[in-house]
């Protein structure tokens, strides 16, 4: 095992190794589960508004045992090979947990997207498509949005890709604008999937939504959608945050109002008057008073040094990798239920899968049809996880890894890998 503790890949490695131990995998089998099929590293050279620049580009194709590689692309300064490799492996786990016929991959461009104009970011997206052209396609590897990439980015990648192919290939990318063959419901899918999973938890544990308070860390796509959807269902959103800080309001925050103010380029901390809310720093956010904590921002936000201060009894991980293995141990002792990222945020890739299916049959579903298909997939995966958790006496996270590793192993074995 890597001695670099808490690097994203070391965390992923630990979780897979633990699942392999339960499943009595051979060394060769575990090694296969931890070794990406292919790592593509390149650079994109561009003339941006700042001058001649060069950006590191990565795509890790982790496993295609269960179907074509699938996973997002992030534009982020921390997107290095270690992180992209871990996220690619997690995509393979995620797709297996929800049982969609796709493998795992992830891409990244090391860039601080906030520092660049839309025009520059379009050039970066097109550069990404050129560099990766031969490796991408509906039967090979299907990128999608992730941090600091969005439907517009996907439109630019698709346009460049199709120009190189000389034909229309909408199924090569998901998370596209509706006008280019995107799926209804994809924009809110990560938040919606998380809501469906939380609803199953709430029903199983016979809790009452109206009595549950929720804190959402991060107010990007996943965070803002989950806050709005839960608010509409009767949960009380008591705290929200963004990169500039957080707010706590005991009698409830209106997330629609927060979104409106955020759309004007302001922070969540600017939404209410001083006397109406309590300001919380991002370092304090984990310990905010609530029943459900929803990390929806960066990785490693729940760590050994702050896990003990968490007041929530349920953590719904909409971010990828928000909890370190050390924090997991603390949550186990405190009896905090962590609904892990590979299930909680899988709604995004499930609707990406729907988009890919619709692109291939050239027939499109209504928003209702998308929701009708998404809900049972999320609910079944939740109950599969609960059964494995009860069967082996392990946490939800351990259960999801056992479930997924078993499914990937089965596919590897049939292929003789
Ligand atoms: N980036 C999202 C994730 O981490 C979505 C991936 C996809 O739709 O392929 O799950």
Beta-carbon count within 10 A of 234 CB: 11
pLDDT band at 2 (very low <50, low <70, confident <90, very high): very low
| Cα 159 to Cα 165: distance, rounded to the nearest angstrom | 10
Say if ligand 1 is within 6 A of residue 228 CB: no
| Cα 70 to Cα 75: distance, rounded to the nearest angstrom | 17
Please give the distance of CA 367 from its chain centroid, rounded to a whole number.
21
**Would you tell me the crossing angle of helices 367-392 and 81-97 to the nearest 10 degrees?**
90
Say if ligand 1 is within 6 A of residue 72 CB: yes
Residue nearest to atom 8 of ligand 1 (CA): 349
Sign of CA dihedral 34, 318, 99, 136: negative
Q: Which atom of ligand 1 has the smallest separation from the CA of 143?
A: 9
* Residues annotated as part of the active site: 106
- Residues 407/65, Cβ–Cβ less than 8 Å: no
Residue 5 vs residues 20, 36, 305, 317: alpha-carbon distances, Å? 20, 20, 14, 21
Say if ligand 1 is within 6 A of residue 295 CB: no
Q: What are 234-275's pLDDT values in tens digits?
A: 999 999 999 999 999 999 999 999 999 999 999 999 999 999
Q: What are 174-194's pLDDT values in tens digits?
A: 999 999 999 999 999 999 999
Q: Which atom of ligand 1 has the smallest separation from the CA of 102?
A: 9
Q: Tell me, what's the pLDDT at 302?
A: 97
DSSP character at residue 45: E
Residue 159 CB partners (closer than 8 Å, separation 6+):
126
| Residue showing tokens 């089965």 | 410
| Residue showing tokens 């544990």 | 205
| Cα 55 to Cα 43: distance, rounded to the nearest angstrom | 5
**Bridge partner residues of 47 (DSSP):** 52
- Residues 291/214, Cβ–Cβ less than 8 Å: yes
CA of 183 to the centre of ligand 1 (A): 14
Say if ligand 1 is within 6 A of residue 100 CB: no
**Bridge partner residues of 44 (DSSP):** 55
- Mean pLDDT (the chain, rounded): 96
| Cα 242 to Cα 327: distance, rounded to the nearest angstrom | 22
Residue 208 vs residues 76, 96, 161, 213, 235: alpha-carbon distances, Å? 39, 31, 48, 10, 9
Pocket test of ligand 1: the residue of 64, 175, 378 to mutate, having most ligand atoms within 8 Å of its CB, is 175
Q: What are phi and psi of 296, to 5 degrees?
A: -130, 25
Percent of the chain surpassing pLDDT 90: 97
Q: What are 339-389's pLDDT values in tens digits?
A: 999 999 999 999 999 999 999 999 999 999 999 999 999 999 999 999 999
Helix (H) or strand (E) holding 56: strand 51-63
pLDDT band at 1 (very low <50, low <70, confident <90, very high): very low
Number of residues assigned to the chain:
417
Residue 53 vs residues 45, 322, 383: alpha-carbon distances, Å? 6, 32, 49
Q: What are 301-352's pLDDT values in tens digits?
A: 999 999 999 999 999 999 999 999 999 999 999 999 999 999 999 999 999 9
pLDDT band at 4 (very low <50, low <70, confident <90, very high): low
- Residues 201/208, Cβ–Cβ less than 8 Å: no
Say if ligand 1 is within 6 A of residue 341 CB: no
| Cα 185 to Cα 349: distance, rounded to the nearest angstrom | 12
């Amino acid at each position: 095992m890597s001695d670099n503790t808490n690097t994203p890949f070391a965390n992923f490695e630990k979780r897979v190794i633990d699942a392999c131990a339960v499943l009595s995998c051979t060394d060769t089998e575990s090694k296969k589960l931890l070794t990406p099929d292919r790592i593509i590293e390149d650079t994109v050279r561009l003339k941006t508004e700042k001058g001649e620049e060069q950006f590191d580009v990565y795509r890790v194709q982790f496993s295609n045992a269960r179907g074509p590689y699938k996973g997002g692309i992030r534009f982020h300064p921390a997107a290095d090979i270690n992180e992209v490799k871990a996220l690619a492996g997690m995509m393979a786990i995620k797709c297996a947990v929800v049982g969609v016929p796709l493998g795992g991959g992830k891409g990244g461009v090391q860039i601080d997207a906030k520092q660049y104009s839309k025009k520059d970011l379009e050039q970066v997206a097109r550069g990404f498509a050129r560099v990766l052209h031969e490796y991408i396609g509906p039967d090979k590897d299907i990128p999608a949005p992730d941090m600091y990439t969005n439907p517009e980015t996907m439109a630019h990648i698709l346009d460049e890709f199709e120009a190189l192919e000389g034909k229309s290939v909408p199924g090569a990318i998901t998370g596209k604008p509706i006008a280019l063959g995107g799926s209804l419901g994809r924009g809110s899918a990560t938040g919606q999937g998380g809501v469906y999973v939380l609803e199953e938890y709430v029903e199983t544990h016979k809790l009452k939504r109206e009595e549950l308070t929720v804190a959402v860390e991060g107010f990007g796509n996943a965070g803002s959608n989950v806050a709005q959807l839960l608010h509409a269902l009767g949960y009380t959103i008591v705290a929200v945050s963004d990169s500039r800080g957080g707010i706590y309001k005991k009698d409830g925050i209106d997330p629609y109002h927060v979104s409106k103010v955020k759309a004007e380029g302001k922070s969540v901390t600017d939404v209410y008057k001083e006397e109406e809310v309590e300001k919380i720093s991002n370092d304090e956010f984990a310990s905010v008073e609530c029943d459900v904590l929803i990390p929806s921002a960066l990785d490693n936000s729940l760590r050994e040094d702050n896990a003990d201060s968490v007041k929530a009894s349920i953590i719904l991980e909409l971010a990828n990798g928000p909890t370190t293995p050390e924090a997991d141990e603390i949550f186990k002792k405190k009896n905090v239920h962590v609904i892990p990222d590979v299930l909680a945020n899988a709604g995004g890739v499930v609707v990406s899968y729907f988009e890919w299916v619709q692109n291939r049959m050239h027939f499109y579903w209504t928003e209702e049809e998308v929701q009708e298909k998404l809900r049972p997939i999320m609910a079944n995966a939740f109950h599969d996880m609960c059964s494995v958790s009860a069967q082996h006496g392990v946490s939800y996270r351990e259960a999801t890894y056992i479930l997924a590793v078993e499914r990937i192993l089965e596919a590897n074995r049939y292929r003789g890998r």
